[in-house]
Every structure is written in C-alpha cells, then in structure tokens.
Amino acid sequence: MHTNMDYIRESASKRGEYYIHSQFDTIPILIKDPFMSDEVNMEEFIDEIETRIPRHLLQNIEIIYVGDFPDLDGRNAAYVDGAIYITNKEPTTHDILENVIHEIAHSIESTYGTQIYSDNKLQNEFLGKREKLKAILDAQGYEFPEEYYINTEYTRAFDEFLSDRVGYPTLLSLTMGLFASPYGATSLREYFANGFEKFYLGEPRLVKETSPVLYNTIARLYTESA
C-alpha cells in the first residue's frame, strides 16, 4: 500500500484521535475520514480491544488509520508495516472489531511465525480440510484445479472461486464444522487469522471443535510473550 503518510497523519489529526493502551506503548487511532455509520462507537471499540486482546499481542501495532483508502482494493482492512488501515464504511462497532482483530493476527505472524507455522502441524490440519473441501465441492459440481487446493498461499483466483462462484452462504452450509468460517479456507494465513478472530470474539469453543490444532496454537500465544 503506497500512501502519503504525512497527509494521512495531518488529515486524521484534524478529524479525531483515540488511543489504545498496550503493554509496550499507546496505540493512536487516527480518523482521516469520519465513519459513515452512526452505529460506530469508538470508545466501545477501544474498551473491547483492551479487554479481549492480551497486550503482548499488540506489540507490532504502531497506529490504526480510519478512512477511505483506495489501496484497500475492496478489503475492509489491512495490516501494512506496523499500521492497520480500516475503511470508514464499516457499519457497526462489531464489524470494526472483527476486522481489527483479524489484522492483529496478521501483525503477530512476524514475531510468532515459528510458534505458529514451523512444525507444519497447522499446515497439515489446513491441507486436510482443503482435501475435504475439494471432495464436497466436486460432488456439488463446483470443480476447480487441484493445484489451488494444495497451495497454502493466498491467490485471488481461489478466493474469487469460493466467494463468487460458490458463494459464502452456500459454502457455509456445505462446510459447516469444517472451518470456523468460510474465509478461513482461502489460505493458511487466513486460516490462522480467521481462527484468531473467532477465538477472541468469544467463540473459542467453535475453534476448538472445528480446528483443534489451530485452537492449541492460538491458546499458546495467549500467555506467551516475545
């Protein structure tokens, strides 16, 4: 994401500024463009983050920007070089919370990547689910090249196959109990981040029942410090 950071900081400071208190520092939230919905409560959002997320897991977040960012390219949020960018089009506080927690998960991969991925247990669990997913979708007539199912990296082609051709409502009904939510099927990193999001949004039992290796990985990070 190529963004004029000085412009964003200057614009955001004029629009509004909030703070999350973490173990390592205070994280500013700078509002470049106001939220379009009246259902967003930033004080409630901050309270939820400070209550739900262990502070050591916020260590890589330097700042959060809210606004209309063309570089998001249709996404609701993104983590880039210490910053979380989130669209101002989110309709509710809960939607913001979901997306920020998801990006927090991506932010900790650089610090805890060894603990998350190095023993390949999480990858093996993910690929086992991808194999079952292929069998389910093939049986329903949604055929797609096998090479995409065994690739753990994100590809737009596979994401669009799941979201546009199959459709997440259909995918949800066909794969109930296989993934914590359909987006977790798109890549190994999204599998982790999606489970992390569900875990900290009050659904750890769902993660444990559907993905025990993923659950154990996240649970270990809960108390572990860098």
Q: Tens of pLDDT along 146-204? A: 999 999 999 999 999 999 999 999 999 998 899 999 999 999 999 999 999 999 999 99
Q: What is the mean pLDDT of residues 56-62?
A: 93
What is the pLDDT at residue 182? 92
Cα–Cα distance measured from residue 202 to residue 206, given in angstroms and rounded to the nearest whole number: 9
Measure Cα distances from 188 to 25, 46, 139 in Å. 30, 28, 24
What average pLDDT is seen over the chain? 91
Q: Tens of pLDDT along 79-112? A: 999 999 999 999 999 999 999 999 999 999 999 9
pLDDT band of residue 24 (cuts 50, 70, 90) is low
Q: What is the mean pLDDT of residues 204-211?
A: 96
Q: What is the mean pLDDT of residues 210-222?
A: 96
SS3 content of the chain, % helix, strand, coil (to 5): 60, 10, 30
Q: What is the mean pLDDT of residues 74-81?
A: 94
In the predicted structure, residue 142 carries a pLDDT above the cut 70: yes
With a pLDDT cut of 70, the percent of the chain lying above it is: 91
Cα–Cα distance measured from residue 24 to residue 14, given in angstroms and rounded to the nearest whole number: 26
- Looking at the DSSP bridge assignments, the partners of residue 83 are 63, 80
* Three-class SS state of 215: helix
In the predicted structure, residue 225 carries a pLDDT above the cut 80: no
Q: Tens of pLDDT along 125-138? A: 999 999 999 999 99
| Per-domain boundaries in the chain | 5-107, 114-223
Helix (H) or strand (E) holding 86: strand 83-87
User: CB neighbours of 171 closer than 8 A, spacing ≥ 6?
Assistant: 162, 182, 185
What is the pLDDT at residue 224? 75
